[in-house]
Amino acid sequence: MNFPQGFRAGAVAAGLKSSGALDLTIIENFGPTSSCAAVFTSNKVVAAPVTWTKQILKGGAIRSVVLNSGGANACTGPQGFADTHLTAETVANALGISSSEVAVCSTGLIGELLPMHKMLAGIQSICLSLSVDSLDSSARAIMTTDTKPKISSKEILGSTFTGIAKGAGMLAPALATMLSVVMTDAVVDEKHLQEIFTRVCNRTFNRIDSDGCTSTNDTVILMASGSSGVQISDSNLEQTLMEVCGSLATQLIGDAEGHTKIVSIEVINAGSEDDAVAVGRACARNNLLKCALFGGDPNWGRILAALGTADADFDPADVDVSLNQVMVSRSSGPGDDRNLVDLSGVNISILIDLKSGLHSATIYTNDLSHDYVEENSAYAT
């Protein structure tokens, strides 16, 4: 698959990953427009690339993103920030743009400086061979423990939206980051771009929650080149972004580290969307429930106990809960026989009816397995 018009990129194995796999990529938006928006981690402790990219975003234009795996450049102090700055300057010089137009994203182990000689050599090498057909390489270069690249593309009215992403939430080792770049050749109205993109990210990427941990490096960037010449309305923009980002989010949770089950938690009839999200998230983060799902144990009491910890308004004595289409709890008491529930498949659906309003939301998560513990127990050593 190729990039949308107005974008080109390249990727190399710069030597940051010990495996020798692709680990550095540069994506360029050569215009004519450089409209952009971005969403970042809510963690107070952020990596140098996040600090940098937040800062340049105030300039209102991103013409290039450089992304590396093999090192998060988080908790690396002033030297880490200087390294990010130098990375952006090197890309800028090679592309003939300003460093304040170069976003930087990193992912990998926290607390170690990047090998800058490898980074800089890699950047020089990539910039000599940018091409429009390197989408797959870019998607691969940002992978850490992902087992496959994540790409989603959608055409609308003659314009194309394409996104790449890595690392489902915080489920990978050492808080491997969720990074994503979404590109379009549509001409977009900049007025509501950030607002729309924030809303889309809240309803897609922010509704997957594999282990409740929040990374230091999360970054999602939207870039619009305008090179298709197609003007797109705000509503079409939002709808198309919902589809592309929704697909990437689904791919991320579907490749969650150590998962054996993919779990959707749909909360209906909540008093507000925030309440629905809070209830879904409380379940998605409950280790006892996640262990039960791993074991194929229809222990619905754990769902009730989990949703009871949410900061949301509902009557705790009147909640209905279905587990894979069996209503195991009616009005917070026993419902149909729990032994009727078949949890043998990969996909598990939990439906929670709060009977408190008209709002709903779905949170996606996975189970807590032996493999999750194994893969996260000895990463830095």
Q: Which of 36, 38, 56, 110 binds its own copies (CB under 8 A)?
A: 110
**Dist. CA 345–CA 364, nearest whole Å:** 16
Q: How far is CA 257 from CA 146, 148, 217, 246, in A?
A: 7, 12, 18, 19
- 333-334 β-sheet, strand order: 333-334, 326-330, 320-323, 347-353, 262-270, 359-366
Q: Which residues have CB under 8 Å from 295's CB, separation 6+?
A: none
**Dist. CA 10–CA 128, nearest whole Å:** 9
Minimum CB separation of residue 168 from its own copies in Å reads: 13
SS (H, E, C) 55-72: HHHCCCCCCEEEEECCEC
Phi-psi region of 283 (alpha: psi -120 to 50; beta: other; left: phi over 0): alpha
Q: Which of 10, 167, 280, 298 binds its own copies (CB under 8 A)?
A: 298
42 binds its own copies (CB under 8 A): yes
Interface map 208-227 toward its own copies (x if CB under 8 A): ---xxxxxx-----------
Minimum CB separation of residue 375 from its own copies in Å reads: 8
Task: State the DSSP H helix or E strand holding residue 266, giving kind and residue range, or none if neither.
Answer: strand 262-270
Instruction: Please count the residues of this chain forming the interface with its own copies, following the rule CB under 8 A.
Output: 72
294 binds its own copies (CB under 8 A): yes
Q: Which of residues 160-219 bind its own copies (CB under 8 A)?
A: 170, 173-175, 211-216
379 binds its own copies (CB under 8 A): yes
Q: Which of 32, 158, 316, 345 binds its own copies (CB under 8 A)?
A: 316
Q: Which of 15, 115, 246, 295 binds its own copies (CB under 8 A)?
A: 295
Minimum CB separation of residue 50 from its own copies in Å reads: 11
271 binds its own copies (CB under 8 A): no
- Residue 325: how many CB atoms within 10 A of its CB? 11
Active site residues per annotation: 177
Minimum CB separation of residue 101 from its own copies in Å reads: 26
Minimum CB separation of residue 207 from its own copies in Å reads: 18
Q: Which of residues 318-377 bind its own copies (CB under 8 A)?
A: 319, 328-329, 331-334, 338, 368-370, 372-374, 376-377
The count of C-alpha atoms lying within 13 angstroms of the C-alpha of 40, restricted to the half-sphere facing its C-beta, is 21
